[in-house]
A and B are shown apart, each in its own frame.
Chain A
Amino acid sequence: MNKKVKLAVAVVVIIGALGLLIASGLNNNTGSYLTIQEALAEQNSSAGKYIQMEGKLAKGSTTWDANSVTLGFGLTDGKNKINITYNGVKPDNFDSGYPIIVEGRFNGASGFVAENIKVKCPSKYEAEAKKQPKASASKQQ
């Protein structure tokens, strides 16, 4: 074999290995990004599946059990609502009305159990609209 062929073989092997690595990495670590409505519809069929949702905190829905460090709340898109349980503490800006990203799974009787809650970092680049004066014709939400 000349060196060019050897080199080509090496490159193919490496690219193949990379492909395998990606495939195995994706295997257990992907989920679905669902709207709250979709998530509710698939509640039974998608038990145990990793789901990411974005919504807002339903007003007055927060419960907090300090002893077991368990947070409960409703995530809403304005119409539909899913009750979320999270074994952890409130992230910063949780009650600010900023969009909340919830990642986790439907878990039978316990409803939706979140593994991760993130509040969208507000006004990093764009200011929040509700506090903006009417005079500024901002398109942001």
Chain B
Amino acid sequence: MADIGYISLVIGFVLSLYAIVGQLAGQKLGNRNLIKSAKGAVLAVAILATVASLALIYLLVTGDFSVKYVYDYTSTDLPLFYKFAAFWAGNGGSLLLWLWVLAIYTAIVTYSDKIDELTPCVSSILMGNALFFLFILAFVTNPFEKLGYMPAEGQGMNPMLQNFGMVIHPVTTYLGYVGFAVPFAFAMAALMTKNTDDRWIKITRKWTILAWMFLTLGNLYGAQWAYVELGWGGYWAWDPVENASFIPWLTGSAFLHSVMIQERKNMLKTWNVSLITITYLLTLFGTFLVRSGILTSVHAFGNSNLGMFFLVFTGLVFVASFWLIADRLPMLKGSREFESFVSKESSFLLNNLILVGIAFTTFFGTIYPLIGELFTGSRPTVSIPYFDKVNAPLGLLMILLMGICPLIAWRKSSGKNLRDNFLVPLAGAVIFAVIAYVLGLRKIYALAAFTAVAFVVVSTLSEVAKGTLVRMRMTGENPVAALGRLLVRNRRRYGGYIIHLGLIMLLAGIIGSHTYNRVEQKTLRLGETIRVEDYSLTYRNLAEGKDGKNDTVYADVAAAKNGQPLGLLQPKKVYYPTHPQPATEVAIRGSLSQDLYLILAGWENDGRATLKVLINPLVAWLWIGGYVMVAGTVFALWPGRGADVGPKYTRGV
């Protein structure tokens, strides 16, 4: 089975070369048969990638430890669920997953009949990327490498990976990462074939939004996984690995907004092409950072030479794509200019600058150690407060903009228009601020940030309400029908608003958990109580237990909030047979307002236990907001009437 997998990769490598050369040559010579045969090769590569992936899954699930990859990441006692997920636990397998997704995406694009003369070019560009991954898999980090003998037992999976997050986070992140390859390929193909209209944007809109949605989910599940599994109490630490998937998310978000300007006003063509190119390059560069071990990260990625290959490939793609953009620059001149500063398009432009600004500051902070080393010889480090300090004001601006943007018109807003639209949201925000202050929200940054949040909520909801009222007046429908039809008939717009509201919930969670979090750690005797804010926690008992096949040591901690009992919390340490050290399993008692997060840090021979208690406000809203964002995306993408773009705005209309 390992041989079948490996041979599939090698044949895939050869066929992907043929697919590229065949399609490009066929296009040039106008030879349809050649194109057709090369398209067949694309399909074959997708099938071969599937065969290789299934072979690896088969080896993992059946526990063939003679294959090094299976030996490294699984053991006989591992639940089936995780044996399967071990597919992407290591370098080779995770790159195979990448290839698999890419090959299938490429086959879908190649055989989609909507697209015509762009297809061979797009398909070749995507195959070029697949070629790189096939090369890596076949010659650098072969997941089918054999040990040469059959060990009785594998090394097992790292306990930290044994979490539901392991199953969902890598897959969603890759679906997102790889998804951006499609709009990138279309952008490049459009330039190569000298099509500079916005057709490539229209064709790839769904791809881009889906990729963005998956990357959103990937980041979210990564954060959630860290929060529930790693046991340090947070969900984000600005680790290079986290930044590597956050930065393309930012540029991808900017791209989603700026293409609307091109669709509506035929502007920003160069910017859009550059933005999607940068986004795709960042996914590759992020992979380089993550796999090379060049930066100090808590995630040890092994100092393999894999990073070098990614760096070289990223460099090649960078030079080739920007050379192409530079060469086609004269064709990309937009046909229109900004008409006014106070217009929707300039607020979109500002939104882009902020998103790209956050991406840049994060990128800069991430690679600063490398830059510093290059110039001074010694390596500086950048600590978490840098990222918080720099991105907080930018984030605040972005929140405000989310509230302002729906209130101003395309092209130019009049003074009256502005007064009418801003009155309600501003009043709402002021009222919120006063009430919040009176209720005890006194930290100035938190107050400012939550007021901005309230402004966006009121602004967005008042837009929806206004639309509903207009519809009721025009059609005589009842409020519910009017609201429903309004949303469904303009799914793209209101889907966007739903996403904004989701993001606002998520941001509220971030603001809350960063401004009003509390940490206490204390060693308690049996029966002793610790008080943290409104909570009192009484340490009742320390005992041994079983968690499936694993031994555990847990503490019984009786929790109460304002005297009301919350029940027993059992933070524990889990001992995995295949792992020398116990893993922390936190106890979380969550509510919409705050999470009580309890860690059993250790215990003494005399029965005392050390507990770490964290109060994390509003964390639940991160996850809720994330799901609302996904719901908004699906709503906007749902095919059918109402999913179309608004009219093109031309001068003199």
Contact = CB atoms under 8 A, between A and B. Distances in A.
Interface of A: 3-4, 6-7, 10-11, 14, 18, 21-22, 24-26, 28-34, 38, 50, 52, 54, 64, 66-67, 69, 88-96, 98-99, 101, 103, 118-127, 131-133, 135-136, 139-141
Interface in B280-306: 291, 296-304
A1 B350 CA distance: 20
Interface residues of B, number: 70
B337 A32 contact: no
A22 B602 contact: no
Contact of A92 (B302, B389, B390, B583): B583
B353 A124 contact: no
Given A30-B386, A50-B383, A66-B602, 5 more contacts: A64-B602, A89-B610, A92-B581, A93-B581, A123-B155
A34 B296 CA distance: 12
Contact of B299 (A90, A121, A133): A121
Interface stretch (B374-382, B457-465, B467-475, B481-489): B374-382
B523 A66 contact: yes
Contact of A101 (B71, B158, B296): B296
The 6 closest A-B pairs by CB, nearest first: A126-B302, A89-B601, A25-B390, A29-B386, A33-B379, A66-B523
A32 B191 CA distance: 45
A31 B231 contact: no
A136 B68 contact: yes
Nearest to A31: B381
Most buried by B among A7, A18, A92: A92
Contacts of B382: 26, 29-30
Nearest to B230: A92
Most buried by B among A7, A14, A101, A125: A125
B338 A127 contact: no
B274 to A, nearest CB: 15
B341 A6 contact: yes
Nearest to B394: A21
A25 B393 CA distance: 11
Contacts of A50: 381, 383
B413 interface: no
B360 A120 contact: no
B73 A22 contact: no
Contacts of B541: none
Nearest to B361: A22
B161 interface: yes
Contact of A125 (B301, B360, B612): B301
Interface stretch (B143-151, B415-423, B589-597): B143-151
B393 A21 contact: yes
Given A3-B337, A89-B610, A119-B298, A25 B357 contact: no
A103 B523 contact: no
A134 B583 CA distance: 28
B627 interface: no
A21 B389 CA distance: 8
A126 B148 contact: no
12 contacts: A3-B341, A4-B337, A28-B385, A29-B386, A30-B380, A52-B381, A92-B584, A95-B581, A98-B300, A123-B158, A127-B73, A135-B148
Contact of B380 (A7, A32, A64): A32
Given A25-B389, A120-B298, A121-B298, A31 B147 contact: no
A92 B522 CA distance: 18
Given A136-B147, A140-B302, A91 B389 contact: no
A120 B147 contact: no
A22 B391 CA distance: 9
Given A25-B390, A69-B523, A89-B601, A103 B385 contact: no
Contacts of A11: 353
B599 to A, nearest CB: 8
Interface string B345-374: 000000001000100110011001100000
A46 to B, nearest CB: 11
B601 A90 contact: yes
Contacts of B230: 92
B72 interface: yes
A34 B372 CA distance: 13
Given A7-B338, A32-B381, A126 B301 contact: yes
Contacts of A140: 302-304
B521 A131 contact: no
Contacts of B232: 91
Given A67-B523, A101-B296, A29 B72 contact: no
A112 to B, nearest CB: 15
A9 B290 CA distance: 38
A16 B90 CA distance: 42
A40 to B, nearest CB: 15
A100 to B, nearest CB: 10
Contacts of A29: 382-386, 389
Contacts of A122: 158, 300
B536 interface: no
Contact of B580 (A30, A96, A133): A96
B37 interface: no
Interface string B60-103: 00000000100111000000000000000111001000000000
Nearest to B378: A32
B400 interface: no
A120 B379 CA distance: 19
A11 B349 CA distance: 10
Contacts of A126: 90-91, 300-302, 304
A125 B148 contact: no
Contacts of A125: 89-91, 94, 291, 299-302
Contacts of B91: 125-126
B27 to A, nearest CB: 39
B148 A120 contact: no
Given A29-B389, A32-B381, A69-B522, A96 B581 contact: yes
B160 interface: yes
A141 B291 CA distance: 15
B383 A30 contact: yes
A94 B391 CA distance: 32
A140 B91 CA distance: 12
Nearest to B583: A92
B128 interface: no
A93 B135 CA distance: 36
A124 B73 CA distance: 9
Interface in B299-326: 299-304
Interface in B6-26: none
Most buried by A among B303, B360, B383, B384: B383
Contacts of B389: 24-25, 29
B575 to A, nearest CB: 12
